[in-house]
């Protein structure tokens, strides 16, 4: 049993607090004082996980210092948007314990993956990694079986905490490809928005399957370009997370795409939600990276056009289907030239 501090009481942070408190002493840091008081008094996170009981042994704390001072492991459960600020609060600690983060995406404007943000704020901290994989917070909080992975450049750290955090309903694997795991976890949200658009337009399961498959090809090209391993994408943080987010009813990114297909605007949808739709900001950052690495990522481009109002949802299929045919496994130099058989 160890002392774990989880920083961030959104849906995912709360769900992890519930599941890890089965084996460990867990403190959940709640940034908003009023929310912390309500969660402590009524033992429920009404905003993010209503009707799911918080166990009595899960401690709720608003004071950052108190929440972290006894921690043997700190889990950063803020969105990417809040990652740097939270790390800066940790930077004043004399001895920072091992870190895991669960946010998915790229930092706005800088385009940095989470591990790069960590390194920029805590350059001397080397015992850290990402926890990711196919996992809806609500199902984890309810104790439904889930498998995820810890990816870290420190293999001993990943293996140790994969074992420590696993239990009968939450299985954790270890992985040493931090870059690949983070890219897979982030970019699948872009593809999930596109899948939601297809579903909202009632374009069928064939189209969804094709989109997921070609989406994985886009994720693979970016992963390899940025130094990750393609084999990682065959695992939990790759195809596993992609399939769940593109097809699951609890996927916020998929639902966002469905609402886009119904004619709702990006700004109205985002203002109406209590939760972060990570795929929106990720789309902009992935598009920048695609241009930087000179990659052909048409699904990402289509989602960008939708978000910017340049393209209507109904036009997305034509944009993707009428592109020049090419080899399925080949680069843009290997275009198939369709000629008259006669």
DSSP codes, 25-84: EEEEE-SSHHHHHHHHHHSSBTTTBTT-PPPTTSEEE--HHHHHTT-SEEEE-S-HHHHH
Q: String of b and e for 266-282 (b: at least 16 CB within 10 Å)?
A: beebeeeeeebbbbbbb
Task: Give the pairing of strands 146-151 and 128-132.
Answer: antiparallel
Could you list the active site residues? 188
Q: How far apart are CA 169 and CA 171, in angstroms?
A: 7
Number of CB atoms found within 10 A of residue 239's CB? 19
CA-CA-CA-CA torsion for 299, 303, 304, 306, nearest 10 degrees?
A: 140
- Distance from the Cα of residue 69 to its chain's centroid: 28
Antiparallel, parallel or unpaired: β 3-7 and 170-175: unpaired
Check if the beta carbon of residue 115 is closer than 8 Å to that of residue 180: no
Contact 215, 111 (CB under 8 A): no
Backbone angles phi, psi at 26, to 5 degrees: -120, 135
* Interatomic CA distance for residues 220 and 232, integer angstroms: 9
Coil, helix or strand at residue 172: strand
Burial class (CB in 10 A: 0-12, 13-18, 19+), 195: buried
Cα Rg for the chain, rounded, in angstroms? 21
Distance CA 10, CA 30 (A): 9
Q: Which helix (H) or strand (E) holds 151?
A: strand 146-151
């Amino acid at each position: 049993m160890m002392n774990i501090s989880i920083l961030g009481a959104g849906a995912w942070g709360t769900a992890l607090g519930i599941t890890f408190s089965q084996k460990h002493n867990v403190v959940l840091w709640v940034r908003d004082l009023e929310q912390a008081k309500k969660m402590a008094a009524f033992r429920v996170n009404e905003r993010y996980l209503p009707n799911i009981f918080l166990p009595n042994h899960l401690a709720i704390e608003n004071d950052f210092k108190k929440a972290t001072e006894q921690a043997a492991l700190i889990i950063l459960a803020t969105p990417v948007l809040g990652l740097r600020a939270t790390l800066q609060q940790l930077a004043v600690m004399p001895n920072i314990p091992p870190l895991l983060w669960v946010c998915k995406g790229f930092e706005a404007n800088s385009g940095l993956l989470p591990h790069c943000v960590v390194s920029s704020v805590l350059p001397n901290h080397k015992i850290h990694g990402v926890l990711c994989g196919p996992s809806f917070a609500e199902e984890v909080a309810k104790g439904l079986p889930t498998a995820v992975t810890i990816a870290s450049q420190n293999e001993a750290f990943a293996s140790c905490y994969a074992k420590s955090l696993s239990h009968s309903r939450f299985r954790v694997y270890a992985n040493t490809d931090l870059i690949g795991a983070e890219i897979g976890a982030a970019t699948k949200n872009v593809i999930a928005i596109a899948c939601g658009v297809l579903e909202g337009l009632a374009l069928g399961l064939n189209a969804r399957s094709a989109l997921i498959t070609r989406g994985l090809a886009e994720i693979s090209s970016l992963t390899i370009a940025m130094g990750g391993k393609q084999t990682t994408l065959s695992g939990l943080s790759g195809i596993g997370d992609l399939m769940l987010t593109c097809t699951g009813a609890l996927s916020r990114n998929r639902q966002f795409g469905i609402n886009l297909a119904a004619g709702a605007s990006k700004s109205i949808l985002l203002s109406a939600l209590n939760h972060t739709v990570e795929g929106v900001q990720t789309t902009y950052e992935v598009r920048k990276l695609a241009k930087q690495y000179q990659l052909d990522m048409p699904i990402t481009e289509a989602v960008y056009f939708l978000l910017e109002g340049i393209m209507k949802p109904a036009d997305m299929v034509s944009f993707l289907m009428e592109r020049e045919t090419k080899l399925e496994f080949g680069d843009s130099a290997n275009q198939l030239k369709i000629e008259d058989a006669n």
